[in-house]
Amino acid sequence: MIILEKGKGESNYNNNAVFNAFIPRASIAWLPNEQNRIWFGVGRGFKPGGFNKEGVDKLALTSYKSEIATEMELGWKWHSVNDNHMAEITLYQIDSKDVQGYVGVIGYQALSNMGDSRSRGIEYLWKSKLTPNHSISLGGMFNQSEFTSGEHKNKRPAYTPSYSSLISWEGLYGKEQKWSSRIAVRFNGPFYFNEQNNLEQGHYTVVDASISWHPTKQYELSIYAKNIGDALYRTYAFGNKAQLGNPREIGVQGSINF
pLDDT at 240: 82
Range with the lowest mean pLDDT among 37-41, 137-141, 253-257? 253-257
Q: List own/partner pairs for 105-113 with CB under 8 A and 24 or more apart.
A: 106/238, 106/239, 108/56, 108/57, 109/56, 110/52, 110/54, 110/56, 110/57, 110/59, 110/60, 111/50, 111/52, 111/64, 112/59, 112/64, 113/64, 113/65, 113/67, 113/150
pLDDT at 2: 53
pLDDT at 60: 58
51's CB contacts (< 8 A; 6+ apart) are 1, 15, 17, 60, 61, 63, 64
pLDDT at 211: 97
Buried b (16+ CB within 10 A) or exposed e, 57-85: bebbbebbbbbbbebebebebebeeeeee
* pLDDT interval class at 4 (50, 70, 90): low
Q: Are 90 and 223 in contact (CB under 8 A)?
A: no
pLDDT digits (tens, 9 = 90+) for 119-133: 999 999 999 999 999
Burial class (CB in 10 A: 0-12, 13-18, 19+), 226: middle
Higher pLDDT, 222 or 218: 222
pLDDT of 91 strictly over 90: yes
pLDDT at 9: 54
Q: What is the mean pLDDT of the chain?
A: 90
